[in-house]
């Protein structure tokens, strides 16, 4: 995806604080995606890349996605539902105040993200900062894959 699907003014962003901004589409995390991520990050631990051994030696019944792979999907999922701040020249990922990998994501699962705008701060103009509560859900699971408080920065 190339970028956010809608635009909101700073005033609209301030008015949206405390509300859910949306839910992304489902993304399937298949073994090919896990293997590619393992190769790129050099994290080839067997619980991610060896389905037979993972089935035999772990409580997961097979391979699981890397927590950081699941986390890396957040940016594209945000493009689907979080607005671009009107008048901005650029925006960047500013990091996390809080991040927990709550449940493993079995390979073959579908995940999606919920975004709640927790704060929109323009006090550091010409910069602004968003704080989103993000939850990545696993289809059919009671507990999420991860929960995070995610920061973004932009520049007018």
- Domain assignment of residue 103, yes or no: yes
Per-residue pLDDT of the chain (156 residues; tens, 9 = 90+): 455 568 999 999 999 999 999 999 999 999 999 999 999 999 999 999 999 999 999 999 999 999 999 999 999 999 999 999 999 999 999 999 999 999 999 999 999 999 999 999 999 989 999 999 999 999 999 999 999 999 999 999
- Split into its structural domains, the chain has a count of 1
Backbone region of residue 51 per phi and psi (left: phi > 0; alpha: psi in -120 to 50; beta: other values): alpha
- Domain assignment of residue 1, yes or no: no
Q: How far is CA 123 from the centre of its chain?
A: 26
**Residue 4, Cβ neighbours under 10 Å: how many?**
16
**CATH number of the domain bearing residue 121:** 3.10.129.10
Per the structure, the complete domain to which residue 46 belongs is given by: 7-155
- Domain assignment of residue 12, yes or no: yes
On whether the CB atoms of residues 108 and 137 are closer than 8 A, the answer is: no
**Residue indicated by tokens 């489902």:** 26
**What's the pTM value of the predicted model, to 2 decimals?**
0.92
Four-residue CA torsion sign, 137, 143, 146, 152: positive
């Amino acid at each position: 995806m190339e970028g956010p699907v809608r635009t909101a003014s700073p005033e609209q962003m301030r008015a949206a604080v405390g509300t859910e901004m949306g839910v992304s589409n489902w993304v399937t995390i298949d073994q090919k995606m896990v293997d590619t991520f393992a190769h790129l990050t050099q994290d080839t631990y067997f619980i991610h890349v060896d389905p037979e051994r993972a089935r035999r030696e772990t409580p997961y019944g097979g391979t699981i996605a890397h927590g950081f792979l699941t986390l890396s999907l957040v940016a594209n999922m945000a493009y689907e539902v979080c607005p671009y701040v009107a008048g901005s020249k650029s925006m960047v990922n500013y990091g996390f105040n809080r991040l927990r990998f709550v449940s493993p994501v079995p390979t073959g699962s579908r995940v999606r993200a919920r975004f709640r705008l927790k704060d929109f701060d323009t006090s550091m103009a010409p910069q602004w900062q968003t704080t989103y509560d993000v939850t990545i859900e696993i289809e059919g699971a009671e507990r999420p894959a991860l929960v995070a408080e995610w920061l973004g920065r932009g520049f007018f």
